[in-house]
Structure 1
Amino acid sequence: MPPGLGAAAAAEALRRDGPNAVPEERPHPLRHFATRFWGPVPWMLEAAIVLQLALGETTEAMVVAALLVVNAAVGAVQERRADAALEAMRARLAPQATVRRDGAWESLPAAMLVAGDVVKLGLGAVVPADVRILSGEVALDESMLTGESAAVRAGPGAAAHAGALVRGGEAVAEVTATGPRTFFGRAAELVRIARAEGTQERAMVAIVRLLAVINGAVVVGMLAYAAATGMELRRVLPLVLSAVLATVPVALSLAFTLTAAMAARALARRGVLLTRLGAVHDAATMTVLCSDKTGTLTRNDLAVAAVAPLPGFTEADVLALAALASSDSGPDGVDAAVRAAAVGAAPSRYAAATRHAFLPFDPARRFAEAEIASTDGALLRVVKGAPAEVAALSGAALPAEAEALARQGYRVMAVAAGDPAAPLLAGLLALGDPPRPDAGELIARLRALGVRTVMITGDGPATAAAVAVAVGLRGEVRGRETVTDSAPPADAVGFAALLPEDKLRLVRAFQRGGHAVGMCGDGVNDAPALRQAQMGIAVSSATDVAKSAAAMVLTEPGLGGVVAAVEEGRAAYRRLLTYAIGTIARKVELVLLLALGLLLTGHAVLTPMLMVLFLALNDLITLSLSTDRTTASARPAEWRVPVLLMAGGAIGLAGLGFTSGTMIYGVHGLGLGTEALRTLTFLAVIFATQAALYATRDARAVWRSRPGGWLMLSSALGVAAAVGLAMTGTLMAPLPPRVILGLGLATVAYCLLLDAAKRWAFPRLGLD
């Protein structure tokens, strides 16, 4: 065995050659900032600026330009913070490599590898750099590098390239190239961090597009009315501009980024790392969790509990043979338990046997095997694995003890040894893995959140059924033959004896049944199922390949991280639901108010300047919803656009009633002139929007749900700014304090009425 590099030599090589990573190309900050002025929302604001300049309204154009720049700056800052959060997660998810330094094996970040390092390659690992095989043999999957799907065998002297997946075997190799000097460069990134568009964002975009169409129809109606009444174009254009500004979703993208980033940071504190921000929203929709058994529902603290030798073999023989068919090192819990039991066993005739070849456990074959030479020089084949498969190799009937041990919840393995063509069945091993003490409680919490937990395992049905009962899963455990392309049975609480390809089929079956699926996995063969699921979850012991395919990575064993993700996702859903309903309500209220104001007064009741002030004081302030204190919904998130349109439209009409009533009272009750009426209408819109926000942010009564501190502070500052402008006559006509006070009292009454209507309507619409 090569001793590997010394620490000093490795440090010098790392300083000289740099880390084993390809530097990521980043655009210049100014160029990246400039891209924020390109897109549908910036175009609408830029068109408004051009139109205002054409009308000679320089001040209004400057205010809109300032809003555009501030929105871009805030977005850039928040995006940078979100990127920093994802980079921190990337660092924590950095692939590891088993390296020999100073004559001892240790685990190091793959980025610290240098040419000349000696590394170990095992099943499920990603080749961390370009290497040359020194000993052993591995089957390499280079499909992500070359496009070839067939595995390639690589033995001593063969080259293996960075990014290839080890599908089988074990080998020791020497690093020949790192980082940008590898053969394929950055063709394969080990851990992918992406920002995928979530279901919530797609729903919101659909809503805004629909509202834009409705608002466009209203604008056409305004133009038709103006043409019919002979209104001058110069009087019509400000009205059209106000209507256009009313449709601009200034804070839309920021709302999703902020909400997801806040939830991601909260999850990181709870031991859950996200590989994409959209995973927060996907977690909220999950209805079925396919949870692996070992390490998630059980402790993954395997120990040999019983040995059942067959005639001609002793307990010590069975343990010694099982140890010879086990990996000498590595994270495999079964092999570690077998090695530990063999060390403490009585002397065996196979204790002095030498191993010539070893093939690790293959999930497809369901056994591991070795070729050994006994003390008399005879070559023997030793097999250790699933009882049915090992018994079939030996041609013997499976002993009744196997089923009896499985019914007690043990993981049962069979051992065979002898002639390579037909080894004799030597005995059985029963490995105990007790359930995690919190598994039952966490499954109950998921059930209360509307998430059905289904156990998936490669163990036999009897073992799986015993574990299911122990963790509180009441129902039938099915075998792999029941996993079909149709929806799985509703009464199944688990599926046993599954192969890796069965997991992908199971996920697809649940999805065909209308479920949003969460899938736990840890191995390289779990990657397709993790990618297929709406929420792929790599458990704490997962391989780098599984982590790269997952949307979420747990840093602690058990289901606690999954519960945290669902709770944080549902809380984020509640915040975005409030934002969505508020957005719909504002668009409906503002456009109809402009049309109604035109009919009642013959002019625009909100000028472009007032509309811009509203956007600045309200849309950007409501971003503080991302920090609002809220509770997780008791049911999975479901973005039903018609229901949201109904709720938002109703609230918008209620707001229209409040603001138009205020406007009519201002004309007939207070005798206000045109400019003062515009100020009153502006304040009424500001007050009504804030009232609707607090009335709808929680399904409970408004006085039973305490808002977040930042939300209350931003609301107070926004309302105070609007009142200050109105009282001092800045950018608008002044209003007497008594009028503003009366409007404030009317707003409180409106908020309470809206809250009462919400408590009746929201449960019936499924928005509670």
Structure 2
Amino acid sequence: MSENACIGLSSAEAAARLQKFGPNAVQEAATHPLLTFLHKFWAPVPWMLELTLVLELVLAKWPEAIIIALLLIFNGILGFSQEQRAQKALELLRERLRIEARVRRDGKWCSISATELVPGDCVHIRLGDIVPADIRLTEGQILVDQSALTGESLPVDRKAEDTVYSASTVRRGEATGEVTATGAQSYFGKTAELVRGAGAKSHLEILVLAIVRYLVIMDGLLVAAILAYATWMQMPLAEILPFALILLVASVPVALPATFTLATALASLSLARQGVLVTRLAAIEEAAAMSDLCSDKTGTLTQNRLRVSAVEAGPRQQRQELLAMAALASDEATQDPIDLAILDAAKAEGATPPQRQDFIPFDPSSKRSEAVFAKDGQRWRALKGAPQVIAALCQGVHWEKATEELASSGARVLGVAAGPEGSPQWLGLIGLADPLREDAADLIAKLQNFGVRVRMVTGDSPATAAHVAKELGIPGRTCDREAIHEDCGVYAGVFPEDKFHLVQSLQKQGHIVGMTGDGVNDAPALKQAEMGVAVESATDVAKAAASLVLTQPGLQGILTAVETGRRVYQRMLTYTLNKIVKVFQVALFLSLGFLLFHDFVVTPLLVLLLLFANDFVTMSLAGDHVRPSPRPDRWDVRSLVWSSLVVAGAWLIYIFLVYGAGILMHLSLPARQSLDFLGLVFSGLANVFMVRERGHLWASLPGRFLLWASLADVLVVSLLASQGWLMAALPLPIILVLLAATVLFTLLLDQIKVPLLRRLNRA
């Protein structure tokens, strides 16, 4: 690449132009917070509450109407605040997922944020980049995908003097050019948005909503039975209809949207602080379920600090000539670790390459790079790439033994050749050493202890890959790309496009697959995998396709994501279990109590207070202390439902015993209704503490928020009952005895729960 084609700016000039033209970005129009808040009252869940509110107002039932209005406002504020918190998390991701640009400043190539580009900057773009601004090319040739601009799927060729536009994607080649427009002045108007689908529902949320739908159907049948019974008994419709609506509302997951938003927002913020950026929130659940991780070698398992460790020159060739030709087929502007290592070695050895006329950058499909130069009046080519590829272009080369010896030591081996057009001569081999990351073997062992099988996927030779895998402790045989559909621990000699077929093959076998990648050709595999992971050095296209983006090298971020995802799963499993149990207990108690005793065992007003009491505590589960599952998490709906039914049946017996105790104590109906209300609140709290732990409830300490929320819940409802506020008064000794009885019943039920729920955790 000609040094004079694009000179670039000095730092002082760039700073002055940044002040004049502004940052290379366009601020998105934000929705007014008031509209966002009002939107919380426009959804199926609020509609049911709003319908009930209107009915209570028509019937002049003011206490019930006030409680419903407060419940609506409470959940609206809660949902709004957590959505704002999630939005701040996404803004953090957008800030850290910014596009980087290779720019020439003060005569040196460096990497800066694309937002700092200004007109006049000299920029180098290559395969996998999202074009950061409008650029007039000065040299090189690229194939550009402009679908983000024009909607046309076919890429177009661009060469010197052509213009490429912001948000285009480089599909092939490399080029250098001068920035002509940035920010709002660019053709596209802004850089490409990388964080997509962050509001998408996860499989977990869809599953819980499906379960709740069936619960509402069950309640619908109970309501129909109550209405039929009331009609037969000629009871006033004005009394029965509010009760029926309250029964339905009691089954609606009022706190579900806020709970999921809070859980995922907290998880994404926690991961961001630890160097893992989530581009779609469903990835948190996928991380919990991941059973297989296909990991790149370079930069993920190794330090990505390549250096030339060996130079095997041919019998009549000089070491300096080999390094000079290898350096000629490399380019500093690409900032590629292999090219930089070779250029450093050539400089250290004093190997000066001739003037280059043209350069063809490395292409993963051809596995080589080329440079054109003139020698003795002829057009010559210097080639660098995979030994088998370079040797195939030469005549009579015996490269296998020397390559095998270098590869068996764990080195990455390149072949080098040079010669007149069409007849290159073999020069020899270069061995590149990339030390293993110190933490790689330990992290692989930890992932495997979590039930995640780590498979290494590399373009290196089988000998090199097998040596590295042995040092890392990766089990399984080593296969080449022809055995991509077989069960192997290491896949060697793999092209980037092979990764897509590998992911598909593992998915067909029932695996939940994670795949790491960094290049544009890795994007299909990253998109196909349940958990696509763009590593620290990934191209912009790879980042856009991935669900997780690592900002630090190595596998630590993936291990962190797995642990975090499994904790979120445990919290949501607790929420789901608790919801199913409470709906069955409350719905069956209210309906059966009415049908058997011909009275409201709990008033509609107290049912609304119960919703407040339950939701206040269950919301705190989103930040509860939990232990990650020892194996990949899979939802077993049948086991979940049947286990919940057994626990719900036990709590149903408990609440009927409470009702019977009220009769034995000769309490009035209003007092019995207060006693039943307290029984439902206390048993609801006890159930949360019982199902949050798959073992015995004392096996782990609950979160601080859960403890304080539960204590506050007990104190408030006990105060209301003892003072006779919103319900008939109960003596304090009765309240304390009921609380103690609930604790004893919980400890007894915990002995039954352990074998039932352990299956859900596969412990």
Short-chain TM bin: over 0.9
- The match for 1:472 is 473
- The match for 1:379 is 379
* Cα displacement (A) at 1:99: 2.2
Q: Secondary structure at the match of 2:733?
A: helix
- The match for 1:639 is 635
Are 1:226 and 2:222 matched, yes or no? no
TM-score by length of 2: 0.96
Q: Secondary structure at the match of 2:599?
A: coil
- The code of the aligned residue for 1:256 comes to F
Contact 1:267–1:273 (Cα < 8 Å) also in 2: yes
Aligned equivalents of 1:62 and 1:190: distance in 2?
45
- The code of the aligned residue for 1:707 comes to P
- The match for 2:714 is 719
Aligned equivalents of 2:330 and 2:701: distance in 1?
58
Q: Secondary structure at the match of 2:333?
A: coil
- The match for 2:699 is 704
Q: Deviations over 1:541-578 (max 9, x none)?
A: 11121111111111111111100100011011101100
* Cα displacement (A) at 1:181: 2.5
- The match for 2:361 is 360
Contact 2:324–2:353 (Cα < 8 Å) also in 1: no
Structure 2 CA distance for partners of 1:316 and 1:620, relative to 1, 3 Å:
same
Aligned equivalents of 1:766 and 1:190: distance in 2?
35
- The code of the aligned residue for 1:387 comes to P
Aligned equivalents of 1:314 and 1:608: distance in 2?
93
- The match for 1:451 is 452
**Matching residue within 486, 489, 505 for 1:489:** 486
- The match for 1:49 is 53
Q: Secondary structure at the match of 1:394?
A: coil
Q: Secondary structure at the match of 1:329?
A: helix
Aligned equivalents of 1:588 and 1:54: distance in 2?
30
- The match for 1:537 is 533
Q: Deviations over 1:434-485 (max 9, x none)?
A: 22222111111111111111111111111111111110012111111122xx
Contact 2:166–2:191 (Cα < 8 Å) also in 1: no
Aligned equivalents of 1:186 and 1:341: distance in 2?
40
Q: Secondary structure at the match of 2:393?
A: helix
- The match for 1:293 is 297
Aligned equivalents of 2:726 and 2:195: distance in 1?
52
Contact 1:140–1:168 (Cα < 8 Å) also in 2: yes
- The match for 1:394 is 394
Matches within 5 A, 1:410-429: 410-429=411-430
Are 1:566 and 2:562 matched, yes or no? yes
CA RMSD of aligned residues (A): 1.7
Aligned equivalents of 1:554 and 1:445: distance in 2?
18
Matches within 5 A, 1:27-106: 27-106=31-110
- The match for 1:119 is 123
- The code of the aligned residue for 1:391 comes to A
Q: Secondary structure at the match of 1:25?
A: coil
Percent identity among equivalent residues? 45
- The match for 1:235 is 239
* Cα displacement (A) at 1:728: 0.6
Aligned equivalents of 1:470 and 1:31: distance in 2?
58
Matches within 5 A, 1:54-453: 54-186=58-190, 188-192=192-196, 194-345=198-349, 351-374=352-375, 376-399=376-399, 400-453=401-454
- The code of the aligned residue for 2:483 comes to T
Contact 1:280–1:568 (Cα < 8 Å) also in 2: yes
- The code of the aligned residue for 1:494 comes to V
- The code of the aligned residue for 1:329 comes to A
Aligned equivalents of 2:607 and 2:92: distance in 1?
40
Contact 2:132–2:191 (Cα < 8 Å) also in 1: no
* Cα displacement (A) at 1:249: 0.7
Contact 2:327–2:353 (Cα < 8 Å) also in 1: no
- The match for 1:503 is 499
- The match for 1:548 is 544
- The code of the aligned residue for 1:732 comes to M
Contact 1:45–1:68 (Cα < 8 Å) also in 2: yes
Are 1:594 and 2:590 matched, yes or no? yes
Aligned equivalents of 1:652 and 1:29: distance in 2?
41
Contact 2:722–2:731 (Cα < 8 Å) also in 1: yes
Q: Deviations over 1:681-726 (max 9, x none)?
A: 1100011011111111112222221111111001101111111111
* Cα displacement (A) at 1:3: 3.6
Q: Deviations over 1:325-375 (max 9, x none)?
A: 111233311111111211222x55xx351111111110010100101223x
Q: Deviations over 1:486-539 (max 9, x none)?
A: xx433x101111112111111111111111111101111111111111111111
- The code of the aligned residue for 2:524 comes to P
Q: Deviations over 1:604-655 (max 9, x none)?
A: 2222211111111211321111111111001111122222211222222221
- The code of the aligned residue for 1:749 comes to L
Q: Secondary structure at the match of 2:332?
A: coil
Aligned equivalents of 1:86 and 1:232: distance in 2?
52
- Runs of 5+ unmatched residues, structure 1: none
* Cα displacement (A) at 1:143: 3.3
* Cα displacement (A) at 1:391: 1.1
Contact 1:245–1:608 (Cα < 8 Å) also in 2: no
* Cα displacement (A) at 1:186: 5.0
- The code of the aligned residue for 2:447 comes to L
* Cα displacement (A) at 1:117: 2.1
- The match for 1:753 is 748
Structure 2 CA distance for partners of 1:191 and 1:747, relative to 1, 3 Å:
closer
- Return 192-201 or 152-161, whichever deviates more: 192-201
Aligned equivalents of 2:366 and 2:154: distance in 1?
17
Aligned equivalents of 1:342 and 1:141: distance in 2?
36
- Runs of 5+ unmatched residues, structure 2: none
Are 1:682 and 2:686 matched, yes or no? no
Are 1:664 and 2:665 matched, yes or no? no
TM-score by length of 1: 0.96
Aligned equivalents of 1:739 and 1:528: distance in 2?
65
Aligned equivalents of 1:14 and 1:677: distance in 2?
74
